[in-house]
A and B are shown apart, each in its own frame.
Chain A
Amino acid sequence: MVEQKKPALYLAEYDTPNAIAKAAMKVRDAGYQKWDCHTPYALHGMDEAMGLKPSKIGFISFFFGMLGVATAVFMMKYMNAWDFDFLDLGWGYPIIVGGKPPGSFPWMVPIMFELGVLFCGIATLFGLLGIIKLPRHNHPIFESERFEAATDDKFFISIEAEDQKFDLDRTKALLESTDPTHLELVEQEVA
């Protein structure tokens, strides 16, 4: 059977941060949606050049951080202060040490903080991977030989074929007008 291929994305290569920033502004103004800049390190100022809104990952971190604090309070109250059986975990009961009230606040602070940080950290990691949809090892962009330099010292813009405005000729013309050092059409196999 002959392998069938279809265009996946255009990949334009640039040498300098300024070149890719200017090109990105052009692509942004042309109204593309499914496109991206690939850089070896985080380029500051690219959010503006690409017209991106600020990341909202902080909401995830905050929510789970607070959830961690609440979990800590519940756990400690259940195990050291309240008196009932929760979900058949084993009966919680008050533990009185040094004659102090079993459910008082001050001694709970360290663990409230630690569990808050723990939940927040884990949620931030998985929230990040969820938002940026990684791990993903089969992206068609890896078909390009030249793309290996994207983690070294070259800067790339990719415009995906799935973008509504994508057109083999017009997109190519747009990218050519940004003076890339190299421009290629990356193809992927049709399943």
Chain B
Amino acid sequence: MSYEAPIKELGETYLLPEGTTTHDVTETIAGVTETKAPRGWWLLFLLSLTALGGLGGALTYLFVQGVGVWGNNAPVYWAWDITNFVWWIGIGHAGTLISAILFLFRQKWRTSINRFAEAMTVFAVLCAALFPAIHTGRPWFDYYLFPLPNQMDMWPNFKSPLMWDVFAVNTYLLISVIFWYLGLIPDFATLRDRSKNLFRKRAYGFFALGWRGAHRHWQHYERAYLIFAGIATPLVLSVHSVISFDFATAVVPGWHTTIFPPYFVTGAVFSGFALVTTLMLICRSVFKMQNIVTIRHLDFMNKFMLGTSLLVGYAYAMEFFIAWYSSNPYEQWVFFHNRLGWGVLDSNGNWGPLWWAYYVMVFCNVVVPQIFWFKRARTSVPIMFIASILINIGMWFERFVIIVSSQHQDYLPSSWGMFHPTAIDLLTYLGTFGLFFTLFLLFVRWLPIISIAEVKGNLPGAHPDLHAEEPLQEPGTAAEPVPAE
């Protein structure tokens, strides 16, 4: 009995349907890049390109006019730009979680979704990184962000969490790209060897780096992959923690809380899993991959969403508890009036103007995922599709609630205000979807969207049984398992 084999006594089974061969896996996944694109792909691609064009227009207008074209104004200086930044980067976190953390925990089901999720990470982080770069409306000064020697002898202030952000986000982007590419190398080789025409062979061959599947290479490759998983795991936890410091180290009521780092990280993973599910459901039906991304995989994903939803719900509750327990009137104002909307706190009995955003957030993030307690919901494609979209809306509102509803009414009633997004705000946000989906659609079209080599390694009998010829033991005395590494 090999180390890789499932333990029948425990009711474990193989992840993929019985009878799936190594060649089937190659055919299914590599086939996507070799056939003509479905008409739906073209439709989506044109839509995404249009949205991307919208982004180009919005950014050009922003650069020409300055940040006045956005709705940010006193006292809400951080508004949609930062909301979108935090939301997008959170989306990316599920990719790293699936590819790195689940790898360390030997969760083999991750192999069917990790490539996909990693690609999503890279594109989402790109969309996120756009916002800090443009939020001053003067992107030609972006080099101020980096510790570059300059004519003014001016150095960055490293005590600022915004500086930590620069390093965290850029490191995260670069490491995600490398991790993703490393996983792609053997699959590029597969595509290269299947290529019928010279152009494809050259193009895929270039990125495959001359990979020849040699075990002397695999050996180091696997170790390097493990190291990447090992460094990406604390990295992903650090990135959203650092982003939460942007808020937590400020004195604004509603931001100044110690629960923020874990709260942001779980929220990030939660939203990322939701988007992976949304996109995976579409791709799996468009490209007929039901045999590789099975209902079991989706069931696992939904359990993850349920778990992170409970963690996020706990964080929401704990924020309220601390607001009450601290007896801090400003903190209580933000939580009970700005968020819950309680009119009793207001001498005129008015509800906070943004109360509805809080209820949308709680409904989408805490109430909706409870449906995943039921196995029928976890295994129903339409239900999980709708739930995953609602969760993404809810997570966007979570960032909006934290950022805008905390700022618009804080210490001084004389400087209270309101935030109204402009059309350019909206167009910029929609435009980042264009960027994301354009890249994503190109990815599903030209790259293997599922890790071919890793899925093969999970098939029944994929690994040799070195001690098979040794004398048979009596039943019940199992042979020494083959070490994995």
Contact with B along A121-150 (1 / 0, CB 8 A): 110110111011011111101100001111
Q: Is B454 an interface residue (CB 8 A)?
A: yes
A92 near B155 (CB under 8 angstroms)?
yes
Instruction: Choose from A25, A49, A137 the contact partner of B210 (Cβ within 8 Å).
Output: A137
B205 at the interface (CB under 8 A from A): yes
Highest count of chain A CB atoms <10 Å: which of B178, B205, B213: B213
By the criterion CB–CB under 8 Å, are A91 and B153 in contact?
A: yes
Asked if A4 is at the interface (CB within 8 A of a chain B CB), the reply is no
Whether A89 contacts B190 by the Cβ 8 Å rule is: no
Interface: B482 (CB within 8 A): yes
Which of B6-14, B71-79, B234-242 contacts the other chain? B234-242
A38 touches B464 (CB 8 A): no
Q: How far is the CB of A40 from chain B (nearest CB, A)?
A: 6
Does B200 make an interface contact (CB < 8 A)? no
User: How does the 8 Å CB contact mask read for A6-27 relative to B, with 1 for contact and 0 for none?
Assistant: 0000000000111011100100
Q: Report if A153-B22 is in contact (Cβ < 8 Å); known contacts: A45-B466, A110-B167, A131-B220.
A: yes
Contact of B482 among A44, A54, A58, A93 (CB under 8 A): A44
Contact B242 A98 (CB under 8 A): no
CA distance A99 to B434 in the complex (A): 45
Q: B159 and A114: CB pair below 8 A?
A: no
With contacts A49-B466, A115-B167, A152-B193 taken as known, whether A134 is within 8 angstroms of B220 at the C-beta atoms is: no
> Would you call B463 and A90 a contact (CB within 8 A)?
no
CA gap between A131 and B223 in the complex, in Å? 12
Return A105 CB to nearest CB of chain B, in Å. 12
B218 x A39 contact (CB < 8 A): yes
Residues in A with CB closer than 8 Å to B221 are: 42, 128, 132
Interface string of A54-68 (1 = CB under 8 A from B): 110110010001000
B468 within 8 A of A: yes
Residue tally, chain B, CB below 8 Å to A: 77
Closest B residue to A111 using CB positions = B167
Taking the nearest CB of chain A, how far is it from the CB of B190, in angstroms? 4
What is the bound-complex CA distance between A75 and B161, given in angstroms? 16
**Secondary structure class of chain A's binding surface, majority of residues:** helix
User: Contact flags (1/0) for A31-56 with B, using CB distance below 8 Å?
Assistant: 00000111111111111111010110
Alpha-carbon separation in the docked complex, A118 to B463 (Å): 34
Q: Are B227 and A124 in contact (CB under 8 A)?
A: yes
Known A42-B453, A90-B153, A142-B212; judge A125-B194 contact (CB<8 A). no
**CA–CA, A36 and B211, complex, Å:** 13
> B209 within 8 Å of A by Cβ?
yes
Q: A57-B224, A137-B210 are in contact. Are A20 and B156 (CB under 8 A)?
A: no
For residue A117, CB closer than 8 A to chain B, the reply is: yes
A44-B485, A124-B227 known; A115-B171 Cβ under 8 A: yes
Also in contact, A148 and B224, with CB within 8 A (given A115-B171, A135-B209, A153-B22): no
**What 0/1 readout, one digit per residue, does chain B (225-264) give for beta carbons within 8 Å of chain A?**
0011001001100100010010000000000000000000
Is B343's CB within 8 Å of the partner chain A? Answer: no
Task: Tell me the smallest distance from the CB of B45 to a CB of chain A, in Å.
Answer: 29
| B219 lies within 8 A of A55 (CB) | yes
- B210 engages A150 (CB within 8 Å): no
Complex contacts, B150 vs chain A, CB 8 Å? 90
Q: Which residues of A contact B179 (CB under 8 A)?
A: 121
Q: When the two chains form their complex, are residues A121 and B231 in contact, meaning their CB atoms are under 8 A apart? A: yes
The contact string, 1 if C-beta is below 8 Å from chain A, for chain B 450-468, is 0011101100011111101
User: How many whole Å from A21's CB to the nearest CB in chain B?
Assistant: 3
* Contact status of A36 and B214, CB under 8 A, knowing A17-B461, A46-B464, A132-B221: yes
B198 interface contact, C-beta 8 A: no
B295 interface residue per 8 A CB criterion? no
Instruction: For A57, give its contact among B4, B167, B220 (CB under 8 Å).
Output: B220
Whether A124 lies near B224 (C-beta < 8 A) is: yes
* Known A38-B215, A97-B159, A98-B159; contact A21-B167, beta-carbon cutoff 8 A: no
Tell me if B39 is interfacial: C-beta within 8 Å of chain A: no
Q: Does B95 contact A (CB under 8 A)?
A: no
Given contacts A45-B466, A90-B149, A111-B167, contact A36 B216 (CB under 8 A): yes
Known contacts A38-B212, A42-B221, A151-B186, A114 near B167 by CB under 8 Å: yes
* 21 CB < 8 A contacts A-B: A17-B461, A38-B214, A39-B213, A40-B452, A41-B454, A54-B223, A57-B223, A61-B227, A79-B147, A114-B171, A114-B235, A118-B175, A122-B174, A128-B224, A131-B220, A134-B210, A139-B212, A147-B212, A150-B193, A151-B211, A152-B26
